[in-house]
Amino acid sequence: MWKFFHQLASPPHFYRLAATLAPWLLAPGVALIAYGVYAGLFLAPMDYQQGDAFRIIYVHVPSAYLSVMAYMIMAISGGIGLIWRMKLAHAVAAAAAPLGAAFTFLALVTGSIWGRPMWGTWWEWGDPRLTSELILLFLYFGYMALRGAIDDTAKADKASAVLALVGVVNVVIVHFSVEWWSSLHQGQTLLKKGGPAMDPGMLYPLLAMIFGFTLLFGSFLLRRVRTEVLYRERRTRWVREMILSPEGS
Amino acid sequence: MNDSHDQQPDIFSGLWATAKRDLLLAWKRPGDVLNPLFFFAMVCTLFPLAVGPSAEQLEFSGPGVLWVAALLATLLSLNSLFLGDFEDGSLDQMLVSPQPLPVLALGKTLAHWLTSGLPLVFVSPILAITYRMPWSVVPIMMVTLMLGTISLSLLGSIGAALTVGLHRGTALLSLLILPLAMPVLLLGANTVSLAAGNDIYTTGIWALGAYAIASLSLAPYATAAALRISNE
């Protein structure tokens, strides 16, 4: 058991493991998304209140969930890197940040597009989740800016890990304070989550999309970590031997 | 503070020594303290010029404007929190000193708050009156600013410690700190607005106090960790 973890932490081993694992995540991910898109757009019944506009949740909900998920991955692996001085964990954190920011952006854009027909406005400051999500995007920007500003990789890793961990505490506080704030304003009557019970015809495509997006994210993350590992280890012998070996990559 | 068991001075002597030194430095260079205050006053002047001087509008936007201006003024002074010590090598001395680093960082943050946050609290009533804030609300605004700037100084010290060795620090520091500072702004400004609207505002004060206590107990450790990382 421990041997497995020790091997996992070794960059060359992880590099090879990620290469074999990535396609196995990608294929079912793409299949699930293909089913989710078809079923969500063509098979799922229309919402009795929202009409066809509700169908954007098939992109919006998985993106919003992954935007938080990616931040947690980033902060936890940053913490692991700080505490156990595991270099690979820092590589994971570095690779997760742009993906998380992309999903946050996607969640904001799809939310905004959905808001236009539903609330009659592209942006609604009164909605706590929109505001929290925007602040999350800014946290990602700060994290990536700090990484970019420090030339020394080891230093950038540790500094950004501290920032990510401070950010985790803050994400929770942001959530509650924004909720308190928006409760001061007029309550959102339209914003009840799509009714108490969801039609199975709507729910299954959504679940497929959530799992599909997660697998896709996992696959992208592994690919990004591979690139990150390769770049960080560019001066080591195993990378040179691998590049020079007849099989290549 | 002269107990000398094993020549290990107690932790408060380190805290006071650091804070006293920074206060003395600020006393010798009053410009560093006054500039953020002028900045605060000027930002508060910008808004009526931009959105118009109508009384209802000023009354309505006053708490928010004062709070945004206070946040920006605090940010302005944060950049230099560890910079001088970093350049002249005092920071290295702090890192190797037997005193716990979080305590020294807290001492510096305390001095920062006394020279930036606290003056803002005392200047704010003058500006609040120009925004036609009722007299009964002014003390509440001062309490929120007092609690809020404590949190802002402590949060800012983390950002200042993370960016201390970097030469393009100012914009980066704002980028790091502003998202973290948003809850404080939200609680502070809205508490004042509630008080101005004769609404129940105590929740906001308690929340701000809780935030200040939480950051007082956690932020020095993050700042110390960041200082060690920045000075490897």
Q: To the nearest 5 percent, what fractions of chain A are helix, strand and coil?
A: 80, 0, 20
Nearest residue to B172 (alpha-carbon basis) of B185, B187, B156, B191: B156
Q: What is the pLDDT of residue A179?
A: 76
CB contact under 8 A, B229 and A174: no
What is the amino acid identity at position A205?
P
How far is residue A159's CA from residue A150's CA, in Å, rounded to a whole number? 9
For A78-92, what is each residue's pLDDT tens digit?
Answer: 999 998 888 889 999
Minimum-distance CB partner of B179 among A139, A149, A165:
A139
Minimum-distance CB partner of A146 among B162, B179, B182:
B162
Name residues 173-202 of chain B within 8 A of A (Cβ). 175-176, 178-180, 182-183, 186-187, 190, 194
- Please give the backbone phi and psi of residue B107, each rounded to the nearest 5 degrees, phi first: -60, -45
Minimum-distance CB partner of A163 among B168, B176, B218:
B176
Instruction: Please give the DSSP secondary-structure letter assigned to residue A10.
Output: S
Question: 């770049």: which residue's tokens?
Answer: A231
Q: What is the pLDDT of residue B60?
A: 83
Residue pair A130/A91 in contact by the 8 Å Cβ criterion? no
Q: How many CB pairs under 8 A join A and B?
A: 72
Q: What is the pLDDT of residue B1?
A: 46
How far is residue B96's CA from residue B191's CA, in Å, rounded to a whole number? 43
B31 in reach of chain A (CB within 8 A): no
Domain boundaries, chain A: 24-42+49-233
CB contact under 8 A, B190 and A146: no
Q: What is the pLDDT of residue A244?
A: 84
Q: Which two tokens stand for residue A70?
A: 């990616």
Q: Which two tokens stand for residue B127?
A: 């500006």
Q: What is the pLDDT of residue A141?
A: 93
Minimum-distance CB partner of A162 among B183, B190, B229:
B229
Nearest residue to A181 (alpha-carbon basis) of B192, B136, B61, B215: B192
Nearest residue to B137 (alpha-carbon basis) of B148, B147, B124: B124
Q: Which residues of B touch A145 (CB under 8 A)?
A: 172, 175-176
User: In Å, how far are A70, A122, A197, B184 from A47, measured between CA atoms?
Assistant: 30, 21, 12, 39
Q: Which residues of A touch B203 (CB under 8 A)?
A: 180
B223 in reach of chain A (CB within 8 A): no
The arithmetic mean of pLDDT across residues A104-115, rounded, is 89
CB contact under 8 A, B180 and A166: yes
CB contact under 8 A, A167 and B182: no
Apex CA A182: angle with CA A180 and CA A183, to 5°? 65
Q: What is the pLDDT of residue A249?
A: 52
pTM summary value? 0.87
How far is residue B198's CA from residue B168's CA, in Å, rounded to a whole number? 45
Give pLDDT tens digits along chain B (232 positions): 444 455 666 778 888 888 999 899 888 888 888 888 999 999 988 888 888 888 788 888 888 899 999 999 998 888 888 888 888 888 888 888 888 899 999 999 999 999 999 999 999 998 888 888 888 889 999 999 999 999 999 999 999 999 987 876 678 888 899 998 988 998 898 888 888 887 778 888 998 999 999 999 999 999 999 999 988 7
DSSP helix/strand/coil, A47? strand
For A199-212, what is each residue's pLDDT tens digit?
Answer: 777 788 888 899 99
User: Residues of chain A whose C-beta is under 8 A from some C-beta in B?
Assistant: 82, 135, 138-139, 141-142, 145-146, 149-150, 154-155, 158-159, 162-163, 165-167, 169-170, 173-174, 177-178, 180-181, 184
> Which one has a higher pLDDT value, A53 or A236?
A236
* Min distance B175 CA to chain A CA atoms (Å): 5
Quote the ipTM score: 0.83
CB contact under 8 A, A177 and B207: yes
For A144-202, what is each residue's pLDDT tens digit?
Answer: 999 988 888 888 999 999 999 999 888 888 777 777 777 665 444 444 445 445 677 77
